[in-house]
A and B are shown apart, each in its own frame.
Chain A
Amino acid sequence: MKMMTVAQWLEVHPGYSVSVRVNDTVAQVLRQVNNHSEVQDFYVCDGQGQVVGHISKTRLANVVLAPYRVHHSHRQLMERVAFGSADEFMVRDFPTAHPEEELDTVIHRMLEHRLQDMAVVDRHRHLLGTISLTILLQHLPESDLLY
């Protein structure tokens, strides 16, 4: 795993990424989530196929299941009353990886940002795949273990 680039890792473990469209309604995003129940992170693409946002399953659950919440912050209350399309509840500025980067660097970034999955995008921000923490752990060589 050491001295490997992201592109090399993706060749062996392409990951599984699901994208939704920027104008998709909450119901449409939910449908995608339900069709891919094993996926935790969803990437939002614009008309040119560029990744413009990220929605985690937890974030979506917070929007959809808001009526079951006893306490709301003002922001959650507003979101409950006036929720809109994917571009309103996605996060626009989120960390990504690039194919030419060293995998070590990307793992550090994932741990730093507490990410389960990280999108790999090219220089035009097209989605190439994802690096999953679960798959990384599954394929961690024993020689890489610190203890």
Chain B
Amino acid sequence: MHTQLSIPLLIGLLLVLGLIAALMVARIGLPRIVGYLFIGVAFSPQLLGERIGFEMAGWSEILTSVALGIIAYIIGGSMTLTQLRRMGRVIFGCALGESLGAVIAVMAGVAFIAPLFGYGDSMTLALAMGAIAATTAPAATVAVIHQFRAHGEVCDTLLGVVAIDDAIGIIAFSVILALLMGEGLGAEMGGIAYEILGAIFLGAVVSVLLSFYGRHVHQGSLRLPMIIGSILLALGLATAIGVSTILTGMALGFFSRMFMRSAADRMFAPIEYFEELVFAIFFTLAGAHFNLQVFTSNIPLVAIYFIFRALGKVAGAYIGATAVQAPRTTRNWLGFALMPHAGVAVGLALTITQVPQLAAIKVVVMNTIIASTILFALLGPFAVKFSLHHAGELGEERKS
């Protein structure tokens, strides 16, 4: 029997069942994203999707775009210029090194190794996969540091690096996506500059409105509608004038924080509660893209992405740390702690599935990222522990 379920019912089912599954897997020590993905996969076309008329076209794009806009706003608003200046060159050098290292390594791996496994148009695939590789999931890193009462130079640098590398990852993604959507590097430099600088300008303009409101409205109940309204306004305008939506969201967060100066709690704390909802949306939707045939036929690509991202993180962190003359332990061990890879990466991969110019590779990219994310989510915490153990910074493990 083929029944067409309504969109609110589909979204409700995905979220409610996803959250229940996430809580269940968390009880047996697995990351919550596994639960979200599991439910998403259950709704994929080859399983329940076809039978219950699960159709993502028409609504998943807007949902993903808004969800990613919220995350970009949160990330942009997480930092101030003063904080960035205070973090110092070691954290910056390491963050730039490991982020760009992962991007370049994955691009190189996919461009040169993937063709050996029969992948055509490997340059587009390489750029798309590389664009996603930079971000690191801070949650797993912080959890391990907390669990083992870790402290020391590597630990301090690691926290700083994971605090800013999602921002670097989003900027790298926006630039590469602009390139992928254009006609070629030489011809499209003007277009790329317009997409990036236009997004920053647009985010700054909307942030003037939002920060004015934030300064003058003290009622908590009125803040959240204005924040969400401003994010939607910025995203809508970005789409209308053809600039990067995700970078617009990030610029909106950054400049709102800057113009409001230190009233950050007021304009960011309410929306930070949405983070889990956003990740639940990302992972369940990502899971719904699951295709067994694509999945099994792309195991080599999953391996390439996994290995080269890991190599890029380790080598990039080493090069970045060496360039800024970081201590030897930081140079040697920081990169291993940067393996976790989850929420933002999946959001970026979902964005790629919505780009018409990348329609030919979207299923491959999504399934590769799903598989890699699971691997990094399961192995990432061990890598963080390995790194901090060798750096001599692990303390006594907490009992619970």
Chain A interface residues (CB < 8 Å from chain B):
53, 59, 67-75, 77-82, 84, 87-95, 112-114
Contact = CB atoms under 8 A, between A and B. Distances in A.
A70 B82 contact: no
Contacts, number: 94
Contact of A88 (B80, B138, B162, B163): B80
Nearest to B261: A92
A16 B391 CA distance: 49
A12 to B, nearest CB: 27
Contacts of B146: 67-70
A88 B160 CA distance: 18
Contact of B77 (A75, A89, A92): A75
A92 B84 CA distance: 21
Given A68-B146, A84-B83, 19 more contacts: A67-B151, A71-B139, A71-B143, A72-B142, A73-B268, A74-B75, A74-B138, A77-B78, A77-B163, A78-B164, A80-B159, A81-B87, A81-B91, A82-B83, A89-B262, A91-B262, A91-B265, A92-B263, A114-B220
A88 B265 CA distance: 11
B219 interface: yes
Contact of B262 (A92, A113, A114): A92
A81 B265 CA distance: 17
Given A75-B268, A78-B78, A94 B218 contact: yes
A73 B263 contact: no
A142 B231 CA distance: 48
A71 B142 contact: yes
Nearest to B76: A74
B268 A53 contact: no
Q: Which of B142, B156, B266 is packed against the most chain A CB atoms within 10 Å? A: B142
A49 to B, nearest CB: 20
Interface residues of B, number: 41
Contact of A82 (B86, B162, B166): B86
B183 to A, nearest CB: 35
A81 B142 CA distance: 12
Contacts of B263: 91-93
Interface in B61-114: 74-75, 77-80, 82-84, 86-87, 91
15 contacts: A71-B142, A73-B74, A73-B268, A73-B275, A74-B163, A77-B78, A78-B79, A79-B83, A81-B87, A88-B80, A91-B266, A92-B262, A92-B263, A93-B218, A112-B219
B159 A81 contact: yes
B218 A73 contact: no
Contacts of B162: 77
A70 B143 contact: yes
Contacts of B91: 81
A73 B82 contact: no
A67 B266 CA distance: 22
A75 B74 contact: yes
Nearest to A59: B265
A94 B217 CA distance: 10
A78 B159 CA distance: 8
Given A72-B138, A84-B86, A53 B262 contact: yes
Contacts of B328: none
B55 interface: no
B188 interface: no
A79 B264 CA distance: 11
B215 interface: yes
Contacts of A114: 220
Interface string B248-290: 0000000000001111111010001001000000000000000
